[in-house]
Chain A
Amino acid sequence: MTPAQKPLELILTRQLASYLAMPLLIFDREVNLLFYNAPAEAILGRRFAETGEMRLADWAGMMPLYQEDGTPIPPEDRPLVAAMREGRPVHRRLRLVGLDGRSRRIESTSFPLEGQGGRHLGGVVIFWELDQP
């Protein structure tokens, strides 16, 4: 993806994310992955420096999500996609398989980022690992 100047709100979100201990992912308004922080790297099983920015289809293929019962969640029903489509937060318990091959139960909160003047900026996913070892 071509680097472009990001909106200030996304820059601030990334800066904040880099200080937090909660796994946090940031997406742009087209749901392209822009960034995930170090705590997310530990769960996803790969450093952001290795994956870089990527499109939703690539991201969804690399990091599939499942209902708690193991049913796959299609890309269009991923919590953040639903949150951005509906313009409100979405909360869900689900399961992901990190790039380290380990399946984890997580609780996720996804919400759109809305800027002043009705600008749709992107969205954020924060998750908490359930059943931590």
Chain B
Amino acid sequence: MAAPPIELILMRQLAGHLAMPIFVVDPEGNLLFYNEPAETLLGHRFDEAGPMPMAEWSTSFTQRDQDGSPLRPDDQPLVIAVRSHRPAHRTFWITGHDGVARHLGVTAFPLEGPEGRHLGAVAMFWGLDE
């Protein structure tokens, strides 16, 4: 398995020190890492979940729009950031593996390296009802 780019290594290192829930994916949208604060939101430790493809994580947690309708993967900010290489933002409800529904704001943005290298994307989550 090839070593990830330095930018993703640094992003993971930084996320590991921050208190904001952070999710990091590679250019294909494969989940590379989420930090401890994200584990609390998702109700699942990263050590247990491990890396997973976009098709899996984007449907792994129950995500609902403000009106309660299921959020399609194509409408999820992190999926948009990976595919369009633009930032995306949304509020929605997510139910983690612990069965708790949480109202969240999500900010996702692409990570772009020199010479047009698409490195992946990052999502940050913010609790809205705390």
Contacts and interface: CB of A to CB of B under 8 A. Distances in A.
Do A and B assemble together?
Answer: yes
A128 interface: yes
Given A13-B14, A16-B11, A114-B20, A88 B112 contact: no
A115 B14 CA distance: 10
A19 B117 CA distance: 11
B87 A115 contact: no
B10 A109 contact: no
Q: What class of interface size applies to chain B in its complex with A?
A: 20 to 34
A49 to B, nearest CB: 19
Contact of B17 (A9, A19, A20, A87): A9
Interface in A6-31: 8-9, 12-13, 15-16, 19-22
A107 B19 contact: no
A20 B113 contact: yes
Given A8-B17, A20-B112, A20-B113, A89 B7 contact: no
A19 B10 contact: yes
Contacts of B11: 16
B27 interface: no
B49 interface: no
Most chain A CB inside 10 Å of its own CB: which residue of B11, B17, B109, B124? B17
A7 B21 CA distance: 19
B60 to A, nearest CB: 24
B7 A115 contact: no
A88 B17 CA distance: 18
A126 interface: yes
A111 interface: yes
B86 interface: yes
7 contacts: A20-B113, A21-B114, A22-B109, A89-B89, A89-B126, A109-B107, A128-B87
Interface of A: 8-9, 12-13, 15-16, 19-22, 87-89, 91, 107, 109, 111, 113-119, 126, 128
